[in-house]
Amino acid sequence: MEPEVENVLPMVRVAVVFGRLLRRAGIAAGPDRVVGFAGALEEIDVGDRDDVYWAGRTTLCSRPEDFEMYDRAFKVFWEGKEGLKVPSPPGQKFSVTLSPDSVQPPKKSAEKNEKGDEAVKLRYSPVDILRKKNFADVTPEEFAELYRLMADINLAGAMKRSRRLEPSHRGRPDARRTLRAAMRTGGEPIRHRYRKARDRPRRVVLLCDVSGSMASYSRALLRFMHASVASGEPVEAFVMGTRLTRVTRELTNRNPDRALREASRTIEDWSGGTRLGDTVKEFVDVWGQRGMARGAVVVLLSDGWDRGDVEVLADAMRRIHRLAHKVIWVNPLKAAPGYQPLARGMAAALPYVDVFLSGHNFESLQELAYAVAGASAEDSATSR
């Protein structure tokens, strides 16, 4: 029995629920594999049983021993067949309820062409449309779905070489561990030990403009900042208005609504004016110069409007560029047709920006995550 395409669950939910069943069956289908499976489902025809089967087997199975149990789980979940014995509480049924307001995957309908043959016509998924939709045009109901998508963005990966060493199969000889092991073999160093420099992610510093000119985007960008901080990666978060406010501690709360409430109580100048140059200068003086910006990836999320002295902003950006490993500027207005950085603050800061991106929709935030992850790919062996 092949699943009806009209009743297919949203891709992410399908992957999560199927991965949960596989874990109950003893297959190590962790979150990373589930995310890969969800991505694969978006690229294939979910009405084709073989495509779905091989997409799941390729992304969710890590050992040949898993294949037999995977086949049985696939028949239970996708074909409604019995026979898979997995531990579950008495009386519990494995089922998934689809809410009526959830975003649906692509749908397929059959039509007749000029020759009378059946032709398959695909319609675009609302999820894909939502990924491309400008934050300024998103409804409150759509924001709820966007927040769930943002939770999957991993703002990390820019690696640098640490001075700390760790055991390795090759690298520098580790005399201490070699001699310690030789004591167990009568003083004969049968096996030589080695160590190498440890790689660790660079710190990411987010500076988000919450002035009135950014009101259409600041809510979504703060949710993105919360997902980044709550992920546990080395991320620092600040907001900029007429003053600089650090909100890292408030955004560490796993509950997004509670985290945003706590942050809003801390931010005293929400949707007010902006002194971009003064706030960036304060960051460099108080936090950046003391070490937070050294070797970090600094991301500024702002439209570049500044009521203050642009020379202050230019000097602060020059100092950040000298301290940081990479400087990324995210400007939601960049997505507008014919945009040019004519705002005085944006024009003054741009010479000291390594990567200039838009942050107007979900896809642009994914592009930002890729830029942050690849920030040290050019020379990962060196650190500032």
Tokens 């070699």 correspond to what residue? Answer: 178
- Residue 155: name the closest of 301, 317, 323, 332 by CA: 301
Q: Tokens at residue 153, please?
A: 């963005």
Pick from 295, 307, 309, 303: nearest CA to 334: 303
Using the structure block, give the residue that is written with the tokens 């560490």.
252
Q: Which of 18-27, 59-68, 104-113 has the lowest mean pLDDT?
A: 104-113
- The two three-digit tokens of residue 156, written as one number: 């990390």
**Whether the Cβ atoms of residue 291 and residue 335 lie closer than 8 Å to each other:** no
The C-alpha atoms of residue 140 and residue 212 are separated, in whole angstroms, by 19
HSE, CB side, 13 Å, CA atoms: give it for residue 176.
4
pLDDT tens sequence across 303-346: 998 888 899 999 999 999 999 999 999 999 999 888 998 888 99
pLDDT band at 167 (very low <50, low <70, confident <90, very high): confident
- Is-contact 102 59, C-beta < 8 A? no
Contact 254, 227 (CB under 8 A): no
Mean pLDDT of 140-168: 76
DSSP character for 286? I
Residue 76, pLDDT score: 79
| Helix axes 11-24 and 31-43, enclosed angle (nearest 10) | 140
Q: Hey, which of 41-50, 92-101, 153-162, 370-379 has the most confident mean pLDDT?
A: 41-50
For residue 347, pLDDT beyond 70: yes
